[in-house]
Amino acid sequence: MSTRLERFTHKARSEPHTRFNALMGMLFDPDGLRDSFERQRA
């Protein structure tokens, strides 16, 4: 998991009522997408 995604995940879990509205950078991060794809079940 990328460091940026780890920080985001920690913040989202520790602040469940926070609204995140600028996630496009994470969605289109090629390394993050590749990591997510590799974690999926076949």
Domain ranges, ordered by start, for the chain: 3-39
The reported pLDDT for the residue numbered 37 is 86
How far apart are alpha carbons 19 and 12 in whole angstroms?
A: 9
What is the DSSP secondary-structure string of 13-40?
A: HH-TT------HHHHT-HHHHHHHHHHS
The reported pLDDT for the residue numbered 26 is 66
How far apart are alpha carbons 3 and 32 in whole angstroms?
A: 10
pTM for the model: 0.47
pLDDT in tens, 1-41: 567 778 888 988 999 998 888 777 667 778 878 888 888 88
